Amino acid sequence: MVLNPVISKLVGKLVVLASASPRRMEILRNVGLRFEVVPSRFKETLDKSQFKTPQQYAVETAKQKALEVAKRMPFQHLKIPHMVIGADTIVSVDGKILEKPVDKKDAYRMLSSLSGKEHSVYTGVALVFCHEKENEVDYQLFDFYEETKVKFADLSESMLWEYIDSGEPMDKAGGYGIQALGGMLVESVHGDFLNVVGFPLNHFCRQLDLLYNGSKLSSSDSHSTLILSQPSPDHGPGSSCKRSPPASPAHKVKINSEQGDGSRTPVNSLSNKTSPGKSAETRRAMPLNVTEQEEREPKREELQRIIQLMEGFKASKALFTASNVGLFDVLRRRPELDAAEVAQELKASVRGTERLLEACVSLGLLKSKERPSQTPVYKNTSLSKRFLLSDTPFSLRGYIQHCDKTVWPLFSHLEEAVQEGSNQHQRAFGKTSEDLFQDAVYNNQEAKLRFMGAMHSIARVTGKAVATAFDLSRFKTACDLGGCTGALAYEFTKAHPELTVTVFDLPAVVDLSEHFHPRHTDNRVSFVAGDFFKDDLPKADLYILARVLHDWSDEKVNILLNKIAEACTPGCAVLVAETILDRESPYAALQSLNMLVQTEGRERTKRQYADLLRQHGFGAVRTVQTSNFLDAFMARKV
């Protein structure tokens, strides 16, 4: 819901937050602002002694942060944002500026200087509006700051150290976070609480109101200063920008900036004045040398192929939607319903249901029976009965939900992933992922169960082919590292009656594994909780790694294979199940893009896997390309 009518003016425009602070993101998301996060690379190294007041320092830092991102985006992201928001929060006490502590000692120094006293928290905010015209980008800058006074209680030594040892002070200006444990240190607050958290939301909204609607700031707004280049009240910032004549050479990035006193900052001091190369827009405008080959009429098959590729996402989303609303389950319970009856069952509109049903028919997921002068009725095809019902042995519903709720949002940031070469959890979900699984995948119960459900369903479908790829009769014990719900382990015990399997996975996963235990099973599958990068691995004759190595960089893969090699005695073996990257079908290459948006890993070629295994003392590498989507390698410890 968009709460603020001013914020609604930004809907559909590319707004960028030049800050990775989760607190700022949360404050802005809570009011319905939609934005991308591009953390600024500006190092906070301005010389504090050059500023007359702490607030000037905070505002200048905010400006530099926002400008760095606004200037970088046309080069690196090939996108020109509408507005970039930069912010910097500092604490000031006794005329000194306190930023983030560098270590515990520094945190102690800061917090003891705040004990029993009142201090000021300033957040400087800069809004950079970008205007593109004739290959030139003009930047228009607005800034302001907000001050909040905070009084700390007298802090005892033990309280101080207890707080420091909690780890909370380390990434916070002044060494405390008022919204969490640090709130216990605070006696009183005068002013905007959110300003202390990291972003003066109220002032920001008033500023936007001024910029877009031309309304006056209230006279009490004494902290709003340095409005640099103000648009005329009748129009948004885009229309009032003072444009300079096109510079030569073309595509020059140009900064327009005015100081609060009306004087102009020399362009050179803010702009690097280099050519940004060709932006996406300018590239499109370049004249093409059209060849005869390109001019001939397209053939039908060519058109079909390209249209299939362009429109493929619609088929995926139709499948996800039909599965999510339970369409296939409804038609199992009550086959041969017409659209109105299905709509009633789904509690959905008839208009929308009709379209979805017909789309599913066109994709081979439903069949329709035409009845003379009556409306058509629908039923499941054998494909949907096998894979799309919620509780059949090969149901892929869990995996479909994962594709829809996790992979789809991540893939919508593929362009940024390609630019940056990194996963997109931050952009898609506002989650940092230093440890991908702990931070990004398992950080709430719903997401965790969804991920486990996805792994479970795909392992049920692909597991037998992996479990039966090699003769394993000489192995008595196996350990499935990252074995998740145990779905693959059960396939191994089914296929090899002498084998017992230990599933080793993170505690968060093992805790929930019983949700997925099969109804009838002997006791040959057990679970051990641990971290395969840090903890001792359970002893086994055979180590299984299914869809695990592709999650990690070569560096982490080497750590893991090294641990396995150390745990193995000669004769032990490792079995790796992954999708081999080859040129035969696009599946593996697209999976590798999937790994780019989701993880720090990638799919690898047969040669790369064999080399990795050999480097860790595993020889006699054998490969089986299964009929399923996973291929299997087995190698013996020599």
The contact mask relative to ligand SAM for 471-490 (x = CB under 6 A, - = no) is -----------xxx---x--
- Return the SS3 of 454: helix
Which listed residue (57, 532, 609, 618) binds ligand SAM by CB under 6 A? 532
Nearer to ligand SAM, 44 or 435 (CB): 435
Site for ligand SAM (CB under 6 A): how many residues?
Answer: 17
Q: Residues 16, 141, 440, 509: which binds ligand SAM (CB under 6 A)?
A: 509
Phi then psi for residue 591, to 5 deg, are -60, -35
Whether 503 and 484 have beta carbons less than 8 Å apart is answered as: yes
Q: Rule CB under 6 A: is residue 546 a binding residue for ligand SAM?
A: yes
Angle between helices 487-495 and 445-467 (to 10 degrees): 20
Quick count: other Cβ atoms within 10 Å of Cβ 397?
A: 21
Stretch that binds ligand SAM, among 30-38, 102-110, 192-200, 502-510 (CB under 6 A): 502-510
Q: Which is nearer to ligand SAM, 111 or 487 (CB)?
A: 487
Q: Does residue 551 bind ligand SAM (CB under 6 A)?
A: yes
Whole-number Å distance between alpha carbons of 180 and 192: 16
CB 491 within 8 A of CB 577: no
Question: Which of 181, 186, 220 shows the shortest CA–CA distance to 203?
Answer: 220
Site string for ligand SAM, 199-218 (x = CB under 6 A): --------------------
Binding to ligand SAM by residue 491, rule CB under 6 A? no
What's the rounded Cα separation, in Å, for the pair 398 and 154?
A: 54
Told to check if 459 binds ligand SAM by CB under 6 A, we report: yes
Smallest distance from ligand SAM to CB 465, Å: 12
Give the distance between the most distant pair of CA atoms in the chain: 87
User: CB nearest ligand SAM: which residue?
Assistant: 482
- Catalytic site residue from 47, 88, 480, 551: 88
Nearest Cα residue to 496 out of 438, 549, 541: 541
Closest CB to ligand SAM among residues 139, 543: 543
Within residues 399-438, the interface with ligand SAM by CB under 6 A covers: 437
Residues 6+ apart with CB under 8 A from 491: 459, 460, 463, 464, 466, 467
- What residue has token string 């196996």? 478
Q: Going by C-beta distance under 8 Å and a sequence separation of 6 or more, which residues neighbour residue 31?
A: 2, 3, 4, 7, 201, 205
- Give the dihedral sign, CA 518/524/529/531: negative
Compute the distance between CA of residue 517 and CA of residue 493 in angstroms, rounded to an integer.
13
CB of 629 to ligand SAM, least distance (A): 11
- Given the complex with ligand SAM, which of 524 and 547 has the nearer CB atom? 547
Q: Which of 23, 397, 547, 604 binds ligand SAM (CB under 6 A)?
A: 547
Q: Whose Cβ is closer to ligand SAM: residue 397's or residue 547's?
A: 547
Candidate segments 90-98, 304-312, 340-348, 526-534, binder of ligand SAM by CB under 6 A = 526-534
CB of 484 to ligand SAM, least distance (A): 3
| 531 forms part of the interface with ligand SAM (CB under 6 A) | yes
Please identify, using beta-carbon distances, which residue of 460 and 524 lies nearer to ligand SAM.
Answer: 460
Q: Is 88 a catalytic residue?
A: yes
Minimum CB–partner distance for residue 487 and ligand SAM (Å) = 6
Helices 350-362, 339-346: inter-axial angle, 10-degree rounding: 110
Q: Which is nearer to ligand SAM, 228 or 510 (CB)?
A: 510
For the chain, the C-alpha Rg in angstroms (whole number) is: 30
**Residues with active-site annotation:** 88
Q: Which residues bind ligand SAM (CB under 6 A)?
A: 437, 455, 459, 482-484, 488, 505-506, 509, 531-533, 546-548, 551
